[in-house]
Structure 1
Amino acid sequence: MRVALFVPCYVDQLYPRVGMATLELLERLGCEVEFPEAQTCCGQPMLNSGCDTDAVPLAERFLEIFTGYDAIVAPSGSCVSMVKNHYEHLVHEDPRYEEIRTKIHELCEFLVDVLKIESLPGNFPYVVGLHSSCHGLRELRLASDSERNTPSFNKPRQLLEMIDGVQIATLKRQDECCGFGGTFAVSEEAVSCTMGKDRIADHLQAGTQVLTAGDMSCLMHLAGLIRRDKQPIHVMHIAEILAGYEVPQ
């Protein structure tokens, strides 16, 4: 399978280890991975700020760069949801959009639904707290949420449970927002921080040693609060755990 690796801006600039972990994991599972070097921002920051017109050229550029692959995979639920769910009113008349919309996948979704993997090697002897980001949970349906009376499922958890040694922390509010919300963390700093500290408190009571998620943006927010308050929790993107990376010290 010829897979295009889509790496979000903040991952590329601040957390390149996450991009490398995603690449190594996909190649280990038999994918022929290409990284289109011409890729740019997907336009989510502009759209979230109400600047729809400014997001259109980026959406058009995305279609141009990523058309023609068997699949497009990104270690970010929010960026994938931007393309899959929010490009429609930007580039809905472009005939390439429907192909892109059906071929782009968040990493965990791709591993579970497309590759259908049933086992992963490695050992990770830690209590892992899984944060469900809002975009992945409610827009991509990577897991069931508490407000719906539907059968329970969780694709990221399904993958983590394949790794020896992993214990999943039991949270009191497993699908609550971390408070990041992109520009929300800037415009409503106090509310954002309070929400983030509430999530960290839940992980502390659950005994979380390593906090993980499919969105590095949420983890960036939570890691900042953890670091400032000197809490005993490490933060890792789920791609790093699945790829067998060690816990950063």
Structure 2
Amino acid sequence: MTVALFIPCYIDQFYPDVAIATLTVLERLGVQVEYPAGQTCCGQPMANTGCDSDTAPVAKQWVKRFAGYDAVVCPSGSCVSMIRNHYSDYFGPEDTDFQHLRDNTFELCEFIVDQLGVRSIPGRFDRPVSIHSSCHGLRELRLGACSENMTPREDKLRMLLESLEGIEIKPITRVDECCGFGGTFAVAERETSVAMGVDRVTDHISSGSEVMVAGDMSCLMHMSGLIRRRNMPMSVKHVAEVLNEAIQSDSSGLDRSSSAMANQ
């Protein structure tokens, strides 16, 4: 399987370590990864503000760049959801390249669990953490259960974190509440966005957690800014960074896991 790595624009510009961690984790799991040159934003910011005429050429450019790969993996549930759930507005049913990418573009944890069949990562992460579940991941990609829908679902991010030695996952009070970022919502409704974000961070701190972990760096970007400006006792990490750090602590164990997976 040849997998294309799609790195969202805000990770490319502000959090390149998350991109590197994503690449490292995939390669250590035995995945052949390529990074298509010339990739751009998926178009979600324009789509969210109703600028469909501006979104369409961006979506077509994205499909052109990623066509031909067996799968696309992205460390962002919101960008993956844009492609899987909203790109159909810009493509016809006869567009086979889009149809293929719609069905084969995956969020990182989703790809590891569902496509690679890996349900545990050997390694250690010796810090108490808490999990922030992004709205797009829960409510559009269905990567876990949410309170307004009683359908039981495996939480793929939590599953991988729970497999690490030494980790302690602290329970928060409202497990699926929005952080208030919402892309352009944070600009148009600043006061509401800030209040929601501070409320979310406070819940995580009250649990005894030291590190907030999420699969969407956009949510963490919003909350890390609130944490920094208010000197709150909390740090944030993308799940790729946590998994990569754990992998580095037990590389021989992961080699055994990858070999076993390849033989299945």
The bucket for the TM-score relative to the shorter chain is over 0.9
Further displaced range: 116-125 or 182-191: 116-125
Aligned residue for 2:217? Answer: 216
TM-score (norm: length of structure 2)? 0.91
Describe the superposition over 1:56-107 as per-residue Cα deviations: whole angstroms up to 9, x where unpaired.
1111111111111111000000000000000001123423111010110000
Map of 1:192 onto structure 2: 193
Q: Equivalent residue for 1:75? A: 75
Equivalence for 2:111: 110
What secondary structure sits across from 1:37 in the alignment? coil
Instruction: Out of 208-217 and 152-161, give the one that drifted further.
Output: 152-161
Shift of 1:37: 1.3
State how 1:141-220 maps to structure 2 within 5 Å.
141-220=142-221
Return 5+ residue gaps in structure 1 as ranges.
Answer: none
- CA distance in 1 between counterparts of 2:122 and 2:96 reads 41
What is the rounded CA distance, in whole Å, between the counterparts of 1:154 and 1:218 in structure 2? 18
Instruction: Tell me the alpha carbon deviations over residues 112-146 of structure 1, each in whole angstroms, 9 at most, x when there is no partner.
Output: 10001132122111111110000011000010011
1:23-42 Cα deviation digits (max 9, x unpaired): 00000000000000110111
% identical equivalent positions = 56
Quote the Cα distance in structure 2 between the aligned partners of 1:152 and 1:32: 29
* Cα distance in 2, alignment partners of residues 128 and 109 from structure 1: 20
Runs (4+) off by over 6 Å: none
Shift of 1:16: 0.3
| 1:168-209 deviation line (CA, Å, top 9, x unaligned) | 110110000000000110111000000001101110111111
Counterparts of 1:149 and 1:27, CA distance in 2: 36
SS at match of 1:129: strand
Q: Does 1:36 align with 2:32?
A: no
Q: Distance in 1 between matches of 2:198 and 2:7?
A: 28
Name the SS of the counterpart of 1:4 in structure 2. strand
Aligned partners of 2:119 and 2:82: how far apart in 1? Answer: 28
Give the match's secondary structure for 2:103.
helix
Partner residue of 1:92? 92
Give the number of the structure whose residues are more often helix, by fraction: 2
Query: What is the alpha-carbon distance in structure 1 between the residues aligned to residue 76 and residue 153 of structure 2?
Result: 22
- Alignment deviations for residues 225-249 of structure 1 (CA, whole Å, 9 cap, x no partner): 1111111111110000011179xxx
Q: Is structure 2 residue 10 aligned with structure 1 residue 15? A: no
Task: Report the Cα distance in structure 2 between the residues aligned to 1:233 and 1:206, rounded to whole angstroms.
Answer: 11
- Name the structure 1 match of 2:122: 121
Greater relative contact order structure (CA < 8 Å, 6+ sep): 2
Q: What SS does the aligned partner of 2:130 have?
A: strand
Q: Helix, strand or coil for the counterpart of 1:235?
A: strand
1:109, 1:119 → 2: CA distance?
A: 13
Distance in 1 of aligned mates of 2:80 and 2:111: 11
**Alpha-carbon separation, structure 1, partners of 2:198 and 2:80:** 26
TM-score by length of 1: 0.96
The count of residues paired between Structure 1 and Structure 2 equals 246
CA distance in 2, matches of 1:13, 1:237: 15
Q: CA deviation at 1:4?
A: 0.1
- Residue 152 of structure 1 and its aligned partner are, at CA, apart by 4.8
